[in-house]
Structure 1
Amino acid sequence: MLFDIDFDHTLFLEYVEELHRHLFGSASFEDLMIDINQHHQKHHLVTLHLIKARSLFYHCYNEREKLGLSPIFDIIIGALTENTCGDKIKEHFVDFLSLTPEMARSAASSYEKKVFMKNLKSFMMYARKKKGLFHNRQD
């Protein structure tokens, strides 16, 4: 199983910062918000930034309408609060952010939730590699 390791939040913070530098250099979080809906990489990175710290998550959640982030929060909340049991990624973030399904304003599409989860699973692959647990299998 690829995602059998415990979620390492410190390593997640490192991953988000490394991905941010790789994709957007020294651009600020506020810079990422500009034209977020016209740039899929910005959209994906903002979702990861939003879940890295509880304080940022709730600050932006409380201002989601003003910031134009309601659909992004619907994706995050919808993806993380469905079928959570046994999924270490989801369990971590539901607990860390105190998420409930009722926090979403509307239902996100299955596709949007799958893309978000794919981004989190990419982190888990990164974590396995960093921890020396990734082996190239030759079938």
Structure 2
Amino acid sequence: MQFDQEAFGEYLEQMWEHLFEANPLSQIIAKINNNHRARRFFAMYLLKNRETFYSYYQMREELGIGYIFDTAISALFHEREKKPVKQEMIDLLQINLNMANQQVEGYSLREFDKDLNSFLAYWRKRTGGWEHLHKS
């Protein structure tokens, strides 16, 4: 079994609706600096697929969201041996650690992992399994 990109997309859509109702993504991005939910959601949204990741990666400076990429990239490479889903996402997105302008540590990584764990719990409930995605 592999990372379920389709389920991840569905999860993101549900989170978007739950947290931001009908607000367009541009409004969510505008809130990133002043709203932790917007920041955390967008960090996950970037991982939706390779096209989304690279589209926003190219605009990161213009949109002032470089630090979100630094966080997401640092978090995916942090302790990835403990959570194989991280390596699957790295491979899917075709990213490397050098894509982060600076390494992020501490609380931001724990926040990211918490959000990723929320998806994994959703996925496990949906499919009944996650053994390969998460080592306890």
TM-score w.r.t. the length of structure 2 is 0.88
Shift of residue 94 of structure 1?
Answer: 0.6
SS in 2 for 1:7: coil
Of 88, 95, 100, which residue of structure 2 is paired with 1:99?
95
Structure 2: distance between partners of 1:89 and 1:25: 28
Moved over 6 A (4+): none
Q: Write the deviation string for residues 35-66 of structure 1: whole angstroms up to 9, x where unpaired.
A: 21110111111111111021111111111111
TM-score w.r.t. the length of structure 1 is 0.86
SS in 2 for 1:107: coil
- Which one has the largest radius of gyration? 1
Of 51, 54, 65, which residue of structure 2 is paired with 1:55?
51
Q: Which amino acid aligns with 1:30?
A: S
Counterpart in 1 of 2:28? 32
Counterpart in 1 of 2:127? 131
Indicate whether 1:68 and 2:64 are aligned. Answer: yes
Q: Write the deviation string for residues 58-83 of structure 1: whole angstroms up to 9, x where unpaired.
A: 11111111111110000011011233
Q: Gaps (5+ residues) in structure 2? A: 131-136
Q: Gaps (5+ residues) in structure 1? A: 135-139
What is the count of residue pairs matched by the alignment?
Answer: 130
Contact residue 3 and residue 89 of structure 2 kept, 8 A? no
Of 12, 15, 20, which residue of structure 2 is paired with 1:16?
12
The RMSD of aligned alpha carbons is: 1.6
Of 82, 90, 100, which residue of structure 1 is paired with 2:78?
82
Q: Identity, % of aligned pairs?
A: 33
Structure 1: distance between partners of 2:22 and 2:73: 28
